[in-house]
Chains A and B, each alone.
Chain A
Amino acid sequence: KAGVTQTPRYLIKTRGQQVTLSCSPISGHRSVSWYQQTPGQGLQFLFEYFSETQRNKGNFPGRFSGRQFSNSRSEMNVSTLELGDSALYLCASSLALAGRGEQFFGPGTRLTVL
């Protein structure tokens, strides 16, 4: 069974631009969660989608948004990029809500904002 895939793997943007990251979950998984990982802040939860509905949200500004499609694929968008948005963005999928069982993580998208 294919794992969680994230595209692109690496991305370089400049301040003020916007970016869209994509995540394809494991087949049959209905939950997709997004995390931001930085050396200073560690692993920060962004949001979780389950069957196209946002079920949980972290403490990030409105510049960070996401959505989930009917095939469970998910995208997250960051508008008006700031230098501090440089991070590894991880996507994870699970059969049920993230806190009920095992999450499977993708390799991440490394975003660099110049």
Chain B
Amino acid sequence: AQSVTQLGSHVSVSEGALVLLRCNYSSSVPPYLFWYVQYPNQGLQLLLKYTSAATLVKGINGFEAEFKKSETSFHLTKPSAHMSDAAEYFCAVSGRDSSYKLIFGSGTRLLVRP
């Protein structure tokens, strides 16, 4: 069964600093991986997804994530944080069996300091 772990329930960075949100997954075969973002009082929105094409995936708003099979990781990065990036970020994994059940991590709240 798949599972996903997000390290750090809160991450605080200064505006202009690198953003690094960590996600590790557990799966017997390379899964599909996703990052979603939730802005205050809104539903979730897809940032990017990995489905076995390029290991470096570029998403919206300048975010990208790299799939590292050897480390079972799919960390989310952005070179320079903006105040508008303050939100909660969720990593999710699904298997490639017939159910494609999507499992979300516990979320990381990103705080951006001016």
**Residues of chain A at the chain B interface (Cβ within 8 Å):** 4, 33, 35, 42-43, 45, 48, 55-56, 90, 92, 96-108
Contact = CB atoms under 8 A, between A and B. Distances in A.
A100 to B, nearest CB: 5
A102 B43 CA distance: 13
Contacts of B104: 35, 42-43, 45
A90 B43 contact: yes
Contacts of B107: 42-43
Interface-centre pick from A4, A43, A98, A105 (highest chain B CB count, 10 A): A43
Contacts of A101: 49, 51
A92 B46 CA distance: 11
Given A43-B107, A97-B100, A99-B32, 7 more contacts: A33-B102, A45-B104, A55-B99, A56-B99, A56-B102, A92-B43, A105-B44
